[in-house]
Each structure stands twice: as C-alpha cells, then as structure tokens.
Structure 1
Amino acid sequence: MGLKGKLTAQIEMRAGGDVFHELFRFTPHQIPKMSPTTIQGCDLHQGEWGTVGSVIIWNYTHDGKPKVAKEVIEAIDEEKRSVTFKIVEGNLMELYKAIKASFHVETTSDVDLVTWTLEYEKLKDDVEDPLTLLGVCIKLTKDIESHHLKTT
C-alpha cells in the first residue's frame, strides 16, 4: 500500500460555478453562514483574501469532531476557475506529511461541475485515505449550492 495518493470527486453545481469560485476566492469567510454544520469559522491569518500566498485558518467538523486547518493559497487560476490550498498546520498534519485540497469548475453542455481533488502523503502506511475529508468537500459544495438556490 502506498503512502501517496489522490482522491477526486465531481459535483454538479446548479447555482453556478462562477458563484462557487468567487466565493472561495474572495469571500470564504461567508462560508460558515452557508454550511454551519461543516464550517464553523474561516479567518484570514496573513495576506489578503483571494491572493496567492495568503494564509487562512479554517474551523470545521470532520468525522463529528471539531478540527482546525491552517492553509496557504498556493495557486489561483481564473481561466480554469480553480484554487489550490496547501495545508500547513492543524489536525490533518497528525496523519499526513503533506496534503493539498484544490477545486476547479468546468462547464460542459451548460452544466457547471465542481471537481475537488485531494493530494496527500501519509505519515504511516496504516493511516486511512482521506475519504471522509473528501466527503466534507462534497457536503460543503452541496450546502453552498442549496444556500444559493434559496437566495436566487
């Protein structure tokens, strides 16, 4: 069994992929209002919202427990409507040597799809693959979609 891995999930976004990308890029601090059972806080620790190199601290629920993640925005691509976060501190670093979360939005046949990708390296072979963390990303996406569909 390998220590490195990659997980991907793709979710249809009926509320619009641009809305999703803009939210994560410029106003992620609004996400706790849209998905309070998943994200309890999002604070800018360093830099400016929506810029590469900025540091964000997330308070979230994973496997029914409160967790914290400190992330650096590693890349933003407007054309691909993507953002890549590298986790540098927090609960996940107890299990993983490295972990990145990224998403991109693509439109095919007038359908917006949000694709989440988790790239990771486990500290030990007996560490579980972060499938439940990918589940958090899926739930978050659906909560954001539901919030925007209610307000439009």
Structure 2
Amino acid sequence: MGLKGKLTAQIEIKAGGDVFHELFRYTPHQIPNMSPTTIQRCDLHKGEWGTVGSIIFWNYTHEGKPKVAKEVIEAIDEEKRSVTFKIIEGDPMELYKAFKASFHVETNGDVDLVTWTFEYEKINDDIEDPLSLLGVCIKLTKDIESYHLKAT
C-alpha cells in the first residue's frame, strides 16, 4: 500500500459552474449559510479573499465530529475555473504529511461538472485514504447547488 495517493470525484450541477467557482474564490465565508451541517465557519486569516497566498480557516463537520483546517490558496485558474488549496494546519494534518484539495468546473453543453481532487501523503500505511472527506466535498457541492436552485 502506498503512502501517496490521489482521489477524484466529479459531480454534475445545475446551479452554474461560474457561480460555484466565484463562491469558493471570492465569498467562501458565505458557504456556512448554504451548507450549515457541513461547514460551520470560514474565516480569512491572512491576505484577501480570492488571491493566491491567502490563508483561510475552516470549521467543518466530518464523520459527525467538529473539525478544523487552515489552508493557503496555492493556485487559481480563471480559465479552468479552478482553485487549489494546500492544508497547512488542522485535523487533516494529524493523518497526512501533505494534503492538497482542488476543484475545477467544466462545461459540456448545458452540463456543468465540478471535479474535486485530493492529493495527499499519509503519515503511515495504517491511515485510510480520505474517501469520507471526499464525501464531505460531494455533500457540500450538492448543498451549494440546492441553495442556488432555490434562490432562482
């Protein structure tokens, strides 16, 4: 079993890929209003919303327990509608030496697809791959979609 891994999930959304990308880039502090059972708080610790190098602190629920993560925005690509976050502190770092989470939005005709990708290095072979954490991102994506569909 390898210590390094990569997981990917792709979710079709009807709420619009631009809305999703702009939310995570410029106003992630609004996400707790859209998915309060998943994300309880999102605070800017350093920098400005939507800029590379900014540090964001998240309070979230994973497997029924309150968790925290501090991330730095590592990359933003407007053309690909993507954002890459590198986790630098918090609960995931108890299990992983390195952890990056990114998403990008693709449009095929009338269909928008959100693709989440985790790249990680486990502390040891006994650590499970972060499948349940990827499930948190899938739930979050669906909650954001539902919120925006109700608003329109």
Instruction: Calculate the TM-score normalised by the size of structure 2.
Output: 0.99
Distance 1:92 1:10 in 2: 22
Letter in 1 for 2:84: T
Give 1:45 deviation, angstroms.
Answer: 0.2
Distance 1:145 1:108 in 2: 17
> Which residue of structure 2 aligns with residue 58 of structure 1?
58
The C-alpha deviation readout for 1:77-114, integer Å capped at 9, x for no partner, is 00000000000000010000000000000001220000
Letter in 1 for 2:86: K
> Which residue of structure 2 aligns with residue 143 of structure 1?
143
The C-alpha deviation readout for 1:42-77, integer Å capped at 9, x for no partner, is 000000000000000000000110000000000000
Letter in 1 for 2:7: L
> Which residue of structure 1 aligns with residue 41 of structure 2?
41
SS at match of 1:19: helix
Letter in 2 for 1:62: H
> Which residue of structure 1 aligns with residue 112 of structure 2?
112
Give 1:30 deviation, angstroms.
Answer: 0.1
SS at match of 2:20: helix
> Which residue of structure 2 aligns with residue 90 of structure 1?
90
Distance 1:89 1:63 in 2: 19
Letter in 2 for 1:130: P
Instruction: Calculate the TM-score normalised by the size of structure 1.
Output: 0.99
RMSD (CA atoms): 0.4
SS at match of 1:148: helix
The C-alpha deviation readout for 1:103-131, integer Å capped at 9, x for no partner, is 00000122000000000000010100000
Distance 1:74 1:133 in 2: 20
> Which residue of structure 1 aligns with residue 99 of structure 2?
99
Runs of 4+ in 1 over 2 A off after TM superposition: none
